Amino acid sequence: MGSFMKNIVILISGSGSNMAAIVQAAQREHWSERLGVRVAAVISNQPDAAGLKQAHGVATQAVDHKAFATREAFDAALQHAIDAYAPTLVVLAGFMRILTPAFVRHYEGRLINIHPSLLPAFTGLNTHQRALDAGCKVAGATVHRVTSELDHGEILAQAVVPVLAGDTAATLAARVLTQEHIIYPQVIASLLQAGVT
């Protein structure tokens, strides 16, 4: 089975809780046996990312963006590291770098991201504080395909949570994150099941 196994590569920058949720769903739901797919590697642009220590036995690697003079040079090195696994799907999970158009084009159709807002609202950073400042009554997260326009691309799934009285950006982020951990593995499993990638 090994040589026919499809690979997923997950890119992280921080705590890696979405990555851990995906790795655990793959184990719990027997993706190798059922879908012929495994999480082959977790790669971070931050060598000290906490998530690198939470990869549940998956191979980890750091490609430190600070070691490269240009965004193009970093993306080329990252692409080289990823392509060693010939992945069917590349999953951005709290990966906090803007990717070059060449990189995005290389992975067209097999690159997805999770963003902590109900896109197209609140692209970019500080999404939870901005949702609170705007007086939103609901917030959430979006799984989408990655195109060279930041936080655009086909929406694959969304989860909605209420904004509650007294919420801070931190309490809202935590409520949204629990839903991210549910929808991201679901989207990945259904993409692979459908043979979309």
Rounded to a whole number of angstroms, the minimum distance from the CB of residue 82 to ligand GAR is 18
Rounded to a whole number of angstroms, the minimum distance from the CB of residue 4 to ligand GAR is 29
By CB under 6 A, residue 115 contacts ligand GAR: yes
Can you say whether residue 12 is alpha, beta or left, with left for phi > 0 and alpha for psi between -120 and 50 degrees?
Answer: beta
Between 4 and 33, how does the x/- string for binding to ligand GAR read (CB under 6 A)? --------x-xxxxx---------------
Query: % helix / strand / coil in the chain, to the nearest 5?
Result: 40, 20, 40
Burial letters for 139-163: b for 16+ Cβ neighbours within 10 Å, e otherwise? bbbbbbbbbeeebebeebbbbebeb
Known catalytic residue at 56 = no
Is 112 or 191 the residue whose CB approaches ligand GAR more closely?
112
Active-site entry in 30, 56, 115, 144: 115
Tokens 């989207």 belong to: 187
Q: Report the interface residues with ligand GAR, using CB under 6 A.
A: 12, 14-18, 51, 93-94, 114-116, 141, 177, 180
Tell me the catalytic residues: 115
